[in-house]
Structure 1
Amino acid sequence: MSRHRIELAAPAADFHDGFPIGNGRLGAMVHGRCGTEWFDLNADTLWSGGPVPPPSGPSPAPVLPALRAAIAAGDHARADALARSLQGSAWTQSYQPLGRLTLTYGPASTDGYHRSLDLASAVAVTAHGGTEVASFVSAPDGVLVVSVPGVPAFHSPHPGVTSREIDGCVVWTGQAPEWVLPNYVADRSPAVTYGPAGMGFAVAAAVDGARVIVAAATGFRGPFAPPSTDLSGLAAAAAARVAAARARSPEELRRRHVEEHRGWFDRADLHLPGAPREELLFHLGRYLLIAASRPGTQPANLQGIWNADVRPGWSSNWTTNVNAQMNYWAAEPVNLGPLHEPLLTLTRDLAAAGTATAAFHYGARGAAVHHNTDLWRFTAPVPGEPQWANWPSALPWLSAHLWDHWTFGGDPPPAAVFEAAARFTLDMLVPDASGALVVSPSTSPEHDFAAGTAVSRGCAMDQELARELLTRVVALDGPLAAEASRALAALRPVPTGDDGALLEWYDDRPPSEPGHRHLSHLYGLYPGTRITETGTPADYAAARLALHKRLAAGTGHTGWSRAWVLCLAARLRDPALAAASLTALLDDLCSPSMLTLHPDAARPTGWIFQIDGNLGATAGIAELLIQSHEGTVSLLKTLPLAWASGSARGLRCRGGHEVALSWSGGRLREAVLRAGSTGPLVVEFSGRRLTLEVEAGERYTLVT
């Protein structure tokens, strides 16, 4: 068995049991069926709706003083009611499926059945009855290739799809909906509206010898331009892509695909002889990021680029109160920094789009982005429950990814984004009774306190994000540096309760759900870097206690929340909790194909695939091996017991340094560090602490 291969003995029983293949733009979920294969097809830019119109009507911003007064008076029921008046009337749009391609290729014998997904080559194989079907989605050639001469058919959930023939291809064309309500909005009809402005799409397929080649095109012309409905032009584009691929031999197409994919996949490796499932989970996360996110594509959404529903779970959008960010926590540490680019581009776009939202909804400077967004760079508060709708702090969190990209060796962060986020944050700060500055209004994402209310001031996550953002604005030394510095000096710290645990809200309040899946109040520990073992020992202990209180009450019951627990365990140097989190992910929160799951009672299986758990788990595994957030490169500080021996290479640290290491008996044997920058570098390993003078590009070997 290859340590980079997932192998199964039965076809997919559900969508999340399939094997996802993709090139960042075109995605296919392979079901592994006999005789007639199923491919659920997606294109990263096929969404409902169109560009967001500017806000209209009277601004709700004059409500803000009364809202803040209600919060200060402790009248949280009134604060919640007033917060609703700040909301808009629109919802984000939904990521759309192209449809299902079925490929009938022969008898459905199940003799000797097995299927596999090779993560290193990005090829899915289904074998049975002496037949082997290999499938891959090529980035160099932009097509799905299937290695059997089957008969293709296409079934789209979108009405009015028609077909035509172009140059030996059958091409199906149709349009996405003009409007789709989120799947959790049940009180409005119709939930899905089709019309002439819906984005056009085309799917082209050709049988070419002993293979089938498939391509797709969408009418996306940018987030601020109406989508194209030129179906003839889209059909011609998809057919041309197929024709270009047909000009290459089967061997050349596969070679080009594998070489390009391995150019990303081979940047890093991890070998855990005593923990093969954890090793495979790490590699699957890297594989999924490569398959779902490339420079120039849209960012990986809640399901990466794989979705079969017109009304997918949570619109399959970018949920910016943790999930979109978690998708990219691993990008820098596992040496896939260029694949971070789609999220960084989205962040820059939102910093521009959010200026209208800040001005209209709050009468504030800068830019505001709320709890989710879509292809059209939606930024307004939606008409929902305040615990999730009234959270406008997404841009500071997203800006942290620009900062991390830079500190890991990427391009300098764009000052304009930090200034837009900081201006809004500064306008959200007000003094409390003691004179300390707190974010008001403030909510802790998707959680309320026992009275059933959510809107408060100075919630832990908002205070952490404000401190992190303003600290970086001061470091950038731009026009806001002085104002940010004054605010930092007065910013209220996140407090601890009488029991010593870090508090989620301004003061010690009973949570409505003690085991809530969000761990927002622990942002400063991870993914933030303020709370550290040596720099803030009191808050470090308080964060540990807060996490264990949440765990005792049942948190970590979704794939992504358990992945967050794993990352926090790494920062807390808690190998037992890390091991328990990995076991929970693998045993309870993964499908047979190892895709991480989220509870969804509306689905027959009770689960829905969410990719953030996979990608967050990869970040957590990397964090167990190497950390660099305290100004020090720390090696093997949180090594699970089952990982007594192993090796890794290609992992990256802040400063742009790259590390290869091997260990046995739970102790480092050797580390080779390639410096990404010049200057002093502190390295911790095996109880030692060394200061090296390094020069960019040079290699340094450390042995015990």
Structure 2
Amino acid sequence: MKLKLKKYVFCSLIAILGIQTVSSQSSHVLKLWYDEPAEIWNEALPLGNGRLGAMVFGDPAIERLQLNEETIWAGSPNSIAHDKALKALPKVRQLIFDGKYAEAQAMATSDIRSQTNNGMPYQTFGSVYVSFPGHQNYTNYYRDLDIENATAKVKYTLNGIEYTREILTAFSDDVIVVKLSANKPGAITCNVFMNSPFDKTKTTTEDNEVTLSGVTSTVEGQKGRVKFQGRMAARHVGGEISVKNGIISIDKANEVTLYISIATNFKNYKDITEDYVAKSKSFLDKAIDKNFETIKKAHVDYYQKFFNRVSLNLGTTAVSKATTDVRIQKFDSQFDPELASLYFQFGRYLLISCSQPGGQPANLQGIWNDMLFPPWESKYTMNINAEMNYWYQQN
């Protein structure tokens, strides 16, 4: 009798307060998902393993994977510190305390600000494109970012065939891996190639592998000396493959796995003498004999050691069945508690994916940047931004 009364009172409160009922979130997977491809970079889905980053666009006809490596920076090792700055700092502080802001600004500019350059911009590697002839008139489109497993997927139907792409940036094997499959044998036909926005790059074809090499930009008189190389190869089941003129061509395969590595000559902040060609080849050689499922299992196991430390269940409502972009647009007018928990977990996902032990800290855009000269140069701003990246993710 008491239990029934409590239930009645609780239901009455819901009706009076206008609160919508929620169900358990335990069976709901944490995914950002959409029913159309990305049209611009900000709509693409981010993957990362701390060192490598990828933005997945998901266009059925021409897939674009925009790629980054955490040490591709313009310029070369240098210090912007100088002797006058430390002596001027207490004077500038006192001028500020005294309300003499113009004088403080003038002294900060002349005596504290760098006398050489303002720091170097973080730069993109470029993109890998996968072109599928005749894949424009598709139906049943779906793409997602699964933040429980750190993987992305694209699915669509064309001429009665369901095509699937699975993409990940492998934590354990340190390469980008793409699996192309279909529910009908012999359906995978595509061309794969790389490009980069740098003025001078070199593309080669060797031992059934395609490479793209370059050197970063010179900025504010600081010569670009960070050298990089991307390297890719493919393994296929059924059909035929040819590699020439910087293009991997697949014809009527049942399944294809693409392996992509990137390396630079960066050793540490003052030493850029690493053999980047040997390093890019080593990453690829170690991964290419493993199938996609083996790499994926190791990747997910590693990632979940971090991600599974924290769970947040605010419940779910019927509106969670909509695509992520629609849910965001309507968040101010509908009750969607699960979107709040998804947002929280997405923040954790991003930091895990762009900052790993032994690597570089997250810069202003993590490791995701499609430009040579991005906003605020995508560098480290130590007044507050770098710290805030990590305050949020203490767990």
Where on the TM-score scale, by shorter chain, does this alignment land: which range?
0.7 to 0.9
User: Which moves more between the two structures, 131-140 or 247-256?
Assistant: 247-256
Where structure 1 has 5 or more consecutive residues not aligned to the other structure, the ranges are: 182-192, 335-704
Whether 2:233 is the aligned partner of 1:206: answer: yes
Question: Does the 8 A contact of 1:121 with 1:258 survive in 2?
Answer: yes
One-letter amino acid of the structure 2 residue matched with residue 306 of structure 1: W
Distance 1:79 1:167 in 2: 61
1:84 CA drift (Å): 2.2
Q: Which residue of 2 aligns with 1:143?
A: 175
1:669-684 superposed matches below 5 A? none
> Which residue of 112, 127, 142 corresponds with 2:155?
127
Where structure 2 has 5 or more consecutive residues not aligned to the other structure, the ranges are: 1-26, 181-187, 237-255, 317-336
> Which residue of 234, 247, 257 corresponds with 2:299?
257
Question: Does the 8 A contact of 1:48 with 1:199 survive in 2?
Answer: yes
Question: Does the 8 A contact of 2:80 with 2:119 survive in 1?
Answer: no
> Which residue of 257, 264, 279 corresponds with 1:237?
279
Distance 1:72 1:331 in 2: 34
Distance 1:54 1:75 in 2: 26
> Which residue of 264, 268, 274 corresponds with 2:310?
268
1:85-124 superposed matches below 5 A? 85-86=110-111, 87-89=113-115, 90-106=117-133, 107-124=135-152
| Structure with greater helix percent | 1
In structure 2, the CA distance between the partners of 1:172 and 1:271, relative to structure 1 (3 Å rule), is same
> Which residue of 351, 354, 360 corresponds with 1:289?
351
User: Which moves more between the two structures, 111-120 or 64-73?
Assistant: 64-73
Deviations 1:541-578 (A, max 9, x none): xxxxxxxxxxxxxxxxxxxxxxxxxxxxxxxxxxxxxx
1:298 CA drift (Å): 0.6
In structure 2, the CA distance between the partners of 1:8 and 1:325, relative to structure 1 (3 Å rule), is same
1:74 CA drift (Å): 4.0
Distance 2:88 2:294 in 1: 63
One-letter amino acid of the structure 2 residue matched with residue 79 of structure 1: A
Distance 1:223 1:32 in 2: 35
Question: Does the 8 A contact of 1:169 with 1:239 survive in 2?
Answer: no
One-letter amino acid of the structure 1 residue matched with residue 270 of structure 2: F
One-letter amino acid of the structure 2 residue matched with residue 91 of structure 1: N
| Higher normalized contact order (CA 8 Å, seq sep 6+, divided by chain length) | 2
Q: Which residue of 2 aligns with 1:326?
A: 388
Question: Does the 8 A contact of 2:72 with 2:226 survive in 1?
Answer: yes
Distance 1:72 1:35 in 2: 61
Question: Does the 8 A contact of 2:60 with 2:136 survive in 1?
Answer: yes
One-letter amino acid of the structure 1 residue matched with residue 109 of structure 2: R
Question: Does the 8 A contact of 1:113 with 1:127 survive in 2?
Answer: yes
Q: Which residue of 1 aligns with 2:202?
A: 162
DSSP 3-state at the match of 1:59: helix
DSSP 3-state at the match of 2:46: strand
DSSP 3-state at the match of 2:84: coil
DSSP 3-state at the match of 2:390: coil
DSSP 3-state at the match of 1:328: helix
Distance 2:225 2:291 in 1: 37
> Which residue of 46, 51, 66 corresponds with 2:72?
46
1:245 CA drift (Å): 1.0
Distance 1:103 1:257 in 2: 23
DSSP 3-state at the match of 1:327: helix
1:78 CA drift (Å): 2.7
Q: Quote the RMSD (CA, aligned, Å).
A: 2.3
DSSP 3-state at the match of 2:165: strand
DSSP 3-state at the match of 1:113: strand
Flag as ranges the 4+ runs of structure 1 deviating above 6 A.
Answer: none
Distance 2:384 2:199 in 1: 34
Distance 2:208 2:125 in 1: 21
Q: Which residue of 1 aligns with 2:31?
A: 5
In structure 2, the CA distance between the partners of 1:71 and 1:29, relative to structure 1 (3 Å rule), is closer
DSSP 3-state at the match of 1:237: helix
Q: Which residue of 2 aligns with 1:217?
A: 263
1:219 CA drift (Å): 1.3
1:24 CA drift (Å): 0.2
Q: Which residue of 1 aligns with 2:6?
A: none
Distance 1:4 1:69 in 2: 51
One-letter amino acid of the structure 1 residue matched with residue 349 of structure 2: Y
1:9 CA drift (Å): 1.0
In structure 2, the CA distance between the partners of 1:41 and 1:68, relative to structure 1 (3 Å rule), is closer
Question: Does the 8 A contact of 1:136 with 1:146 survive in 2?
Answer: yes
Q: How many residues are aligned here? A: 315
1:83 CA drift (Å): 2.8
1:39 CA drift (Å): 0.7
In structure 2, the CA distance between the partners of 1:77 and 1:54, relative to structure 1 (3 Å rule), is closer
Question: Does the 8 A contact of 1:9 with 1:114 survive in 2?
Answer: yes
User: Which moves more between the two structures, 130-139 or 67-76?
Assistant: 67-76
One-letter amino acid of the structure 2 residue matched with residue 199 of structure 1: V
Distance 2:391 2:81 in 1: 33
Deviations 1:308-365 (A, max 9, x none): 0111111101212221111111322x3xxxxxxxxxxxxxxxxxxxxxxxxxxxxxxx
1:278 CA drift (Å): 0.4
1:302-313 superposed matches below 5 A? 302-313=364-375
TM-score norm. by structure 1 comes to: 0.42
In structure 2, the CA distance between the partners of 1:298 and 1:64, relative to structure 1 (3 Å rule), is closer
Question: Does the 8 A contact of 1:171 with 1:239 survive in 2?
Answer: no
1:73 CA drift (Å): 5.3
One-letter amino acid of the structure 2 residue matched with residue 159 of structure 1: D
| Structure with greater strand percent | 2
Question: Does the 8 A contact of 2:150 with 2:303 survive in 1?
Answer: yes
In structure 2, the CA distance between the partners of 1:323 and 1:151, relative to structure 1 (3 Å rule), is same
Whether 2:43 is the aligned partner of 1:17: answer: yes
Distance 1:78 1:283 in 2: 46
One-letter amino acid of the structure 2 residue matched with residue 158 of structure 1: F
Question: Does the 8 A contact of 2:80 with 2:118 survive in 1?
Answer: no
Question: Does the 8 A contact of 1:60 with 1:85 survive in 2?
Answer: no
1:53 CA drift (Å): 4.0
1:250 CA drift (Å): 2.3
Distance 2:94 2:364 in 1: 37
User: In percent, how many aligned pairs have the same letter?
Assistant: 30
Deviations 1:356-396 (A, max 9, x none): xxxxxxxxxxxxxxxxxxxxxxxxxxxxxxxxxxxxxxxxx
DSSP 3-state at the match of 2:140: coil
One-letter amino acid of the structure 2 residue matched with residue 76 of structure 1: Y
DSSP 3-state at the match of 1:264: helix
